[in-house]
Structure 1
Amino acid sequence: MRGRPEAAVTLLSDHRGPVRCAAGEGSVYRQADDYDHGMPYDPSAFPPFAVTVDLVVLTVRRHALCALAVRRGEPPFQGRWALPGGFVRADEDLSQAAARELAEETGLRAHDPDAPAQDNGAHLEQLATYGDPKRDPRMRVVSVAHLALAPDLPAPRAGGDANSARWAPVEELLRQGGYGRDGEQAAPLAFDHAQILSDGVERARSKIEYSSLATAFCPTEFTVGELRRVYEAVWGVALDPRNFHRKVTGTPGFLVPTGGTTTRQGGRPAQLFRAGGATLLNPPMLRPEV
């Protein structure tokens, strides 16, 4: 979670190419070519800024697309709901920072972004970078947002500078009047997190059209009906069950029968499947126009 910046990073570029300087607690880390042609690099000429990772963690709960939200316990935006995240440490890269935050917030480890989530893991990919100079009132902070998708998860635990955490329907979090619960006054998400969340949701909606990413919302073994409810929750539309079954079972490499059945959804036993080896769907699953 966010706290005191552990490292500030200055990124610049000159005739020699990009230069990276990390400054924290008065120390400066310089590349070997900082001095060239007798021209020393002066770190004081470039104000430092912090780098964070923010997480859009999506799951499907009670047939609704939900995101992990935390209520901030400290300024700025104390008491407001926000996305989980934290500062990048001096000894980790962006993917490591995102995986660490994901583990701290959900207990999940990150899998290869190109593979379906399995074995209590989660799909994790870089979403976008957000660098408005005024996005954080404390100092210049650049956020590298990541998108994580996982099956239905238990209630989250709050940590760091958050005093509570919960799964909330995306539709409620992005409501124009803001988000609030249990009688509290509604307010927009902290920082620019509403924009980050909106971008993450659209990325998920788009990618499940042409990739097997929808299986990341499912347990290791699932029914076609459970997969259909994922598509319905993410896209926000109802799908014809028979037509959907025909499409997903007829797409090469999308689903593989496990040979088992289940009655966990009630009614007659339903055939169980697991994610196949295909990462791109041909033909794609076209999102209905709403």
Structure 2
Amino acid sequence: MDKTEFEHPYVTVDVLIFSIRNKQLSTLLIRRSDDPFKGSFAIPGGFVQMNETLDKAAKRVIDQKGHQNNLYLEQLYSFGDLDRDPRGRVVSVAYLALVPQDNAIDVDDGKHVIKWFPVKTLPPLAFDHEKIITYAVERIKSKLGYSNIAANLLPEKFRLTELQQIYEMVLGRPLDKRNFRKKMASLNLLEPLDELLSVGQHRPAQLYRFREKGLIIFN
């Protein structure tokens, strides 16, 4: 086959990095320093190099933004509308990464402004990135209902109240405390620890951790 006979689209990876910041589900965005969309915020990403897989490209982007590579990472979806990039035919493979709230950091590499934004108050975005973020948020919400994905937004040890708050911040609605705890107990995802944590004037609360941090799917 003559490879020069066919035109080839460019392939990029866009890595949506989410965490809990100031009690809100937030995503890390970077201000573009070049055209197109110079000055607008965008999802961190880059073109896939000839000598790397998609997963390696996504991990490279995460590393460049100052976060460790052992984060929760999954391939989200491919976005390939014909007019999504004014530079030409560009297909983006989006990835979803989650950072525990105690590990989320601010980064400034000296060339771009990198900032966390609550998903409910995003700035004007480059390309089709608002669409991609919306898709990613819906994926997280959905996975809360059938997996232990919340483990990747929490520190290793936490109170049940903190776990419920994660669900409420992501879903955007309050949950009944009694029903939530009953549901968590029935799933057997949590391991109680022989540790208590005092917060303010409240009675010390027991700490828990997830039995498994790797993704577990349940009905």
TM-score under structure 1 length normalisation: 0.70
* Residue type of the alignment partner of 2:198: T
CA contact (8 A) 2:192 2:208 kept: yes
Q: Which secondary structure does the structure 2 equivalent of 1:210 belong to?
A: coil
Q: Which secondary structure does the structure 1 equivalent of 2:173 belong to?
A: coil
| Alpha-carbon displacement from aligned partner over 1:12-63 (angstroms, at most 9, x marks no partner) | xxxxxxxxxxxxxxxxxxxxxxxxxxxxx22222112211110111111122
Residue 107 (structure 2) aligns with? 157
* Residue type of the alignment partner of 1:274: R
1:168-207 matches, within 5 Å, as 168-173=117-122, 179=123, 188-207=124-143
Deviation at 1:280, TM superposition (A): 2.2
Q: Distance in 1 between matches of 2:98 and 2:181?
A: 23
* Residue type of the alignment partner of 2:206: Q
Residue 21 (structure 1) aligns with? none
CA contact (8 A) 1:221 1:273 kept: yes
Residue 158 (structure 2) aligns with? 222
Deviation at 1:265, TM superposition (A): 6.6
Q: Does residue 1:233 correspond to 2:182, yes or no?
A: no
Q: Does residue 1:259 correspond to 2:194, yes or no?
A: yes
* Residue type of the alignment partner of 1:171: K
Residue 141 (structure 1) aligns with? 90
Q: Which secondary structure does the structure 2 equivalent of 1:124 belong to?
A: strand
Q: Which secondary structure does the structure 1 equivalent of 2:120 belong to?
A: helix
Which stretch shifts more, 79-88 or 266-275?
A: 266-275
Higher fraction of helix: 2
Residue 72 (structure 2) aligns with? 123
Deviation at 1:158, TM superposition (A): 3.7
CA contact (8 A) 2:19 2:104 kept: no
Give the ranges of 4+ consecutive aligned residues of structure 1 lying more than 3 Å apart after TM superposition. Answer: none
Q: In the superposition, relative to structure 1, how do residues 67 and 265 fare at CA in structure 2: closer, same or farther (>3 Å)?
A: farther
Q: Which secondary structure does the structure 2 equivalent of 1:108 belong to?
A: coil
Deviation at 1:264, TM superposition (A): 4.6
| Alpha-carbon displacement from aligned partner over 1:198-222 (angstroms, at most 9, x marks no partner) | 0000000000101001111001111
> Which of 47, 54, 61 is equivalent to 1:101?
61
* Residue type of the alignment partner of 2:203: R
Deviation at 1:140, TM superposition (A): 1.4
* Residue type of the alignment partner of 2:216: T
Q: In the superposition, relative to structure 1, how do residues 73 and 265 fare at CA in structure 2: closer, same or farther (>3 Å)?
A: farther
Residue 79 (structure 1) aligns with? 39
Q: CA RMSD in A?
A: 1.8
The one of the two structures with greater contact order (alpha-carbon pairs below 8 A, sep at least 6) is 2
Residue 217 (structure 2) aligns with? 280
Deviation at 1:255, TM superposition (A): 0.5
Q: In the superposition, relative to structure 1, how do residues 128 and 256 fare at CA in structure 2: closer, same or farther (>3 Å)?
A: same
TM-score under structure 2 length normalisation: 0.92
What percentage of aligned pairs have identical amino acids? 41
Deviation at 1:128, TM superposition (A): 0.2
> Which entry has the higher C-alpha Rg, 1 or 2?
1
Unmatched 5+ residue regions in structure 1?
Answer: 1-40, 111-121, 174-178, 180-187, 283-290
CA contact (8 A) 2:147 2:218 kept: yes
Q: Distance in 1 between matches of 2:143 and 2:66?
A: 23
CA contact (8 A) 1:70 1:158 kept: no
Deviation at 1:64, TM superposition (A): 0.7
Aligned length: 216
Unmatched 5+ residue regions in structure 2?
Answer: none
